Amino acid sequence: MKRSLSVPALLALLATPTAAFAQATDPAGSGPIVAALGWLQGTLLGNVATAVAVMAVAAVGFMMLTGRLNWRFGATVIIGVFILFGAASIVAGIQGVAA
């Protein structure tokens, strides 16, 4: 009897990762949780939050330019705002690379 695959080829085939498929719909009973997270996302990324973030970045930038704020702390605040508003794009990029 002749083998069609060698042992190393079979082990390599078994060690190859496969894609994990997430659920297409929300699990049963998660409606209130999904609604609360949707509200939180809308609050954190809405018009008021955008206006506050623009004012915060402007204030931090002005304080950094006048020497009243450490550059490292100011950069941390500005990078944090970019991460907050770019979170959806960051996750989409990671998912695109993983797929």
Q: Which residue has the tokens 């609360």?
A: 36
In tens, the pLDDT along 31-47 reads: 888 888 888 888 878 88
The secondary structure of residue 66, as a DSSP letter, is T
Cβ atoms of 50 and 58 within 8 Å: the answer is no
pLDDT in tens, 52-94: 888 988 999 999 999 998 989 888 988 988 888 888 888 888 8
The CA distance from 37 to 3, in Å, is 54
pLDDT digits (tens, 9 = 90+) for 1-16: 455 556 666 556 566 6
User: CA nearest 95: which of 20, 41, 44, 42?
Assistant: 20
The candidate with the shortest Cα–Cα distance to 86, out of 50, 37, 55, is 50
The pTM for the full model equals 0.52
Q: How many other CB atoms are found less than 10 A from the CB of residue 60?
A: 18
> For the chain, what are the domain ranges?
31-98
